[in-house]
Structure 1
Amino acid sequence: MLSKLAKTELISLAKSFIPPLLPTFHKGQTGKVAIIGGCEDYTGAPFFSAHAAATLGIDLTHVVCEYNAGTVIKSYSPNLMVHPYLYETDNVPSQFSNNQERFLKDKVFPKIYSLLSRIDVAVLGPGFGRNPLMLKQLESIIDKLKETNKFFVLDADSLWLVTQNPDIVRNYEKAILTPNVVELSRLCKKLNIDFDITKNLTLEESLEIAKKLSKELNVAVIVKGHDDLIINRDDHIVSSSEGSLKRVGGQGDSLSGLIGGFLAWANAYQNSLWKVQDDPKLTTSQLILLSAFAGSLLTRTSAHKAFDLKQRSMQTTDLHDHIAKSFTEIFES
């Protein structure tokens, strides 16, 4: 049980699935991640998620966004591959306005499914929005990810979709939900789990609620808060390293990208990309817990460094400036 291990032991286990940098590797072998999100109103969130994964060390980082968000997100960085494949209801070409199903089937899904077949991990939800047609596309993307047995992280508006239809992720072992306290409250209400968002809970009480959610859906969960509670049914990790006293928009998106990046490395580990000494190897459940722990620890450490430097003026971009150094200190020292 990972819950019985010390922080140093958890870090050591996480190190075991971080790929070495070998001259025999080629582009893409140490990670291909797609962020599914971004619409006209929200372009920063998918960028933060994708940029965090890329800065972690992922070889190829994609963003699949709504048609009108593509140019904006592309302007943020040339290091990301941005695909404006998704469509909100009002942006569907006029010739398909009366047959949106055909438009999705003929023009949208073939491009998205082709990309999904080439990635290791998807991060769903940053800046996605709640447009009904967008959510319909997200449902199909989740179905395709499950069909092809991919890891995926659910954040932000993808959690809204889960609140409307919990069965879309139920019993899928390669998914992890990343709710904050408000998103947790919605999920608990939908699933009839007793949770009062106004009550100050002890760590043990919070863990119990998170465990109930994980067991009800039979998936992994990381509940973000003062301590990040990482649960996979009966096992758990509490990530309590010091972070930033400044809570600024975007840090949760950075976390989702880092978790996605570590899961891409976990996938390479499972596929024996390099010679692994572990016997037996870490299980899928353990890899998800450790990926979430590693992502949480790296986010908190980077945020702490950024806050030390910038104090109240700290922004999420400042957090990203410290990912490389924090990673080296934690995982390569």
Structure 2
Amino acid sequence: MAKELTRDTYLSKHVGDFPAEVTIGGRTYVKVDDLRYGTNPHQAACYYKPVGEICAIGDMEILKNGKSGLSQTNLEDISYALNIVKFFDRTACAVMKHVNPSGAAVGLPGESMKSVYLKARDADARAAFGSVIAFNAEVDADTAREIMGTFVECVVAPSYAPGVLEIFNDGETYKLNRHIRIIRCGAISSLPRFVGEAREIHNTIKVLGDGSLVMAQPLLTSLHGVEDLVPAEAENKRCGHQKSTVEATEQQKLDLLAAWYINLSVRSNGVVIVKDGQTLSVGTGEQDRVGAIEQAIAKFNQKYSGSGTLQNSVMSSDGFFPFEDGVETAAKAGVTAIIAPSGSLRDADVIKRANELGVALYHAPERIFSHH
């Protein structure tokens, strides 16, 4: 049986396979480091940063390494996790597994970082095993001790309070996590958030099966704040003019905004259910809209074993509802406010049904499919 290669033995065979510099679109990128492996151990990999640019990931500093270095999957999870927490002024935490958030949370007024982390982790505690965790604020000692209580691959944050690195290095007390990787990221403020903020270096590049490239502008949003939430409104011959008449509460509006921002880093079709700043469930990667909602509800019911409730939660959908069944499925589970883009021929039908069900429906300014 083949033995999995360690970083040292793997890199001894593969260092030099990748050039020190590459040029794409007229811009030069310099190699930062060889990686432990790519997506799988038999795939060699390294990563680059654009020359002369401030980078949240390219400039990160590894404060504590595990028994081996970072993999491509670690970097991708770090990237998507930072792409969630970058949106929030309040303390935020994202727990990533396989390039999807298993949980995320945003602090309520006066809430501790430890509490925010626990909400993000325990949104799906089973999936959080072996995760990558990102914060948008300095990690304190109480949070570090809680992190060390369960198995974690990496922690990334802009800074760490005095004494926190000693906790992360205490492999005798926390044997399960003795190989945890601790990373100080570069400036999170360098990450674009809203449409119009991106520069050429933020364009995404995808390599197709034959080596061809697709270059695209990054996935950003025009939704800056709760003041941009617009009640859904549409018209068709079947229903006439319809407008959402149900008003979300102020906390629900904040939750709708959080659900939308988190959904930008969820593989489509994706839905995110949030309550009081915490993801209750994430439905991702489904081929149909209702399936994503059903998956999220089923995950919540299965992993919480019937405890807790989705009542008065909110939901974001990365694409429009082609029929009324998506709203009906969410409402039956307890969701009372939804944000989704418009674009369906049956938008008016969906709005009418949402009003009948007592669901506040808001139209987002764009679709946010993420085919990562």
Query: Do these two structures clear the TM 0.5 threshold for a shared fold by scoring above it?
Result: no
Bigger relative contact order, structure 1 or 2 (CA pairs below 8 A, ≥6 apart): 1
> If you compute each CA radius of gyration, which structure gives the higher value, 1 or 2?
2
* Greater fraction of residues in helix: 1
**Greater strand proportion:** 2
